Structure 1
Amino acid sequence: MVELHLDDAGLAADLPRPETPQDQIQDVPFRPVQFRDDDLPTALERSAKWLRRAQEWLGEPVDVIAIHLDYDDRKGSPYYEVKLLCNDEDLAGAPLAIRQAGAAPQQ
């Protein structure tokens, strides 16, 4: 049995989070990790930076099933929305916990 250390949203407590307040990790089953900005290259760069940090933390590639690009033309909202649809088990740290459990000495 593998023990996961999850927050209230079901994410690994030490999973890197997007750094900018308008970016967020959304709900399951495949969690959209959203990056919003008025400048598309900036939103893409932040999504790539987060994906690299998350993969380094996980120790393997994050399972991304889709990349969704949308826009929000409401006044006061960032125009572009880049969403990476990620496997919720990866964001919960399951592969990392399984590897750590396999490396732990048996009781």
Structure 2
Amino acid sequence: MSENQVTLDLDDAGLAQGLPRPQHELDGIQDVPFRPVQFRDNDLPTALERAAHWLRDTQQWLGEPVDVIAVHLDYDDRSEAAYYELKLLCNEEDLAGAPIAVRDRH
């Protein structure tokens, strides 16, 4: 075993306990590779604003820019669903707080 192990404080979903979570009830962090962080709304500018707010909060918490691998925009035209689905595909290590743990180790 390596002496340079990093200890992460993760919840049951593998996300850092201190990671800012999207605040709106339609938004959330999904449990698939590249951790899509989803923002849903009938108004695209509103979904984009919430995504930007979450990115700023998370960047401040992380202490560095969040590694966003891709941005995916889709729509759901079912009458009961929010029309726009904006997803930020994020690096799992960032959402687990690995950069914080590495800095704290030193």
Which bin holds the TM-score, normalised by the shorter protein? over 0.9
Q: Which runs of 5+ in 1 are unaligned?
A: 103-107
| Cα deviation code 1:45-84 (max 9, x no counterpart) | 0000000000000000010010000000111110000000
CA distance in 1, matches of 2:32, 2:103: 23
CA contact (8 A) 1:64 1:85 kept: yes
TM-score by length of 1: 0.93
1:62-73 equivalences under 5 Å are 62-73=66-77
CA distance in 2, matches of 1:64, 1:98: 20
3-state SS, counterpart of residue 30 of structure 1: coil
Equivalenced residue count is 102
RMSD, matched Cα: 0.6
Counterpart in the other structure of 2:48 = 44
CA distance in 2, matches of 1:28, 1:80: 20
- The letter of the residue matching 2:65 is P
CA distance in 1, matches of 2:13, 2:54: 18
CA distance in 2, matches of 1:30, 1:7: 17
CA contact (8 A) 1:28 1:88 kept: no
Q: Which runs of 5+ in 2 are unaligned?
A: none
Runs of 4+ in 1 over 2 A off after TM superposition: none
CA distance in 1, matches of 2:46, 2:32: 26
The answer to whether structure 1 residue 33 and structure 2 residue 45 are counterparts is no
The percent of aligned pairs where both chains have the same amino acid is 73
CA distance in 2, matches of 1:79, 1:67: 17
Counterpart in the other structure of 1:105 = none
